[in-house]
Amino acid sequence: MKHKKLNQNFFARPTLQVARELLGKFLVRKIGQRQIAAMITETEAYRGPNDLASHASHGPAWPAGRRTPRTEVMFGPPGHAYIYLIYGMYHCLNIATEKEGYPAAVLIRGASLFPKTYNLTPTLNGPGKLCRFLKIDKMLNGDNLTISPRLWLEDRGNKIRPNQIKRTKRIGVDYAGPYKDKLWRFMIK
DNA sequence: CGCGGGATTGACT
DNA sequence: GTCAATCCCGCGT
């Protein structure tokens, strides 16, 4: 099976489409000589300056969005890593999408490790656990994942059919008003 | 400069 | 189901 690295064109598209198509793709992390590959099984889209669930939103009164040092990567070019610390102890990995200047990203919420060795293989179900296992932290914030030697994404040729995908509301965004019920979470059934 | 809160997780009742 | 750990960020003063 081919291992094709995802390029900037992949991420420079509508965020919901990128979130859906990232399912089944492989997240690859290189630490020293060691390389870990995990198949993405769950994602969420955070899209645009009006998405009240997004760090980059500031409500209708700030049409351009909340552009701060933290959210800068979301406004930047597609394919770059937006990594932030949550609750003082967990990191979350996102990948910036759409065109530069438009704040959007896909949160990687879950993945399966390959190869699975017996039942010792931990389940990376949850963005915090995923980052902890793959040693993803703010050192990698802002990295261009289409050229980074430390973290990138691959298409390994496996296809996820639409009827294998479940679509739900996003997790933990009850504060987001009308945006809390958007079906912007995608997972492999 | 102080304060409130979080795109989570795991332990516990 | 409830709750706390733990610290950075954004904003108001």
Give pLDDT tens digits for A33-59.
Answer: 999 999 999 999 999 999 999 999 986
Give pLDDT tens digits for A140-173.
Answer: 999 999 999 999 999 999 999 999 999 999 999 9
Q: Where are the domains of chain A?
A: 4-188
Give pLDDT tens digits for A59-111.
Answer: 656 788 999 999 999 999 999 999 999 999 999 999 999 999 999 999 999 99
* Strand pairing class (A185-188; A165-168): antiparallel
A61 touches strand C (CB under 7 A): no
Distance A10 CA to C10 C1' (A): 32
Residues listed for chain A = 189
State the nucleotide closest to A105 in CA–C1' terms: B7
User: Are A187 and A42 a contacting pair, CB within 8 Å?
Assistant: yes
pTM for this predicted structure = 0.95
Q: Is the pLDDT of residue A118 over 80?
A: no
Q: Distance between CA atoms of A24 and A157, rounded to whole angstroms? A: 9
Distance A86 CA to B5 C1' (A): 11
Selected from 3.10.300.10, 3.30.70.1150, 1.10.510.10, 3.90.480.20, the CATH number assigned to the domain covering A4-188 reads 3.10.300.10
Distance A122 CA to B11 C1' (A): 19
User: Are A62 and A70 a contacting pair, CB within 8 Å?
Assistant: no
